[in-house]
Amino acid sequence: MKQDVDEDALELFNGLSGVLRIELTEPAQKTAPHMLNLAAPPTARITSVALELSVDDRDLTAEEWSRVVIRAPRIRMRSVDTDEIVIDHDAPDGATFTVRNLADAIAKTERDSREHGEWLGGVDVHHIFFEGIELEDGVWTICWGS
Amino acid identity, position 101: N
- 76-133 pLDDT, tens per residue? 999 987 778 999 999 999 999 999 999 999 999 999 998 877 666 678 888 899 999 9
Task: Give the angle subtended at the CA of 86 by the CAs of 85 and 90, to the nearest 5°.
Answer: 150
pLDDT at 136: 92
CA distance 8 to 69: 8
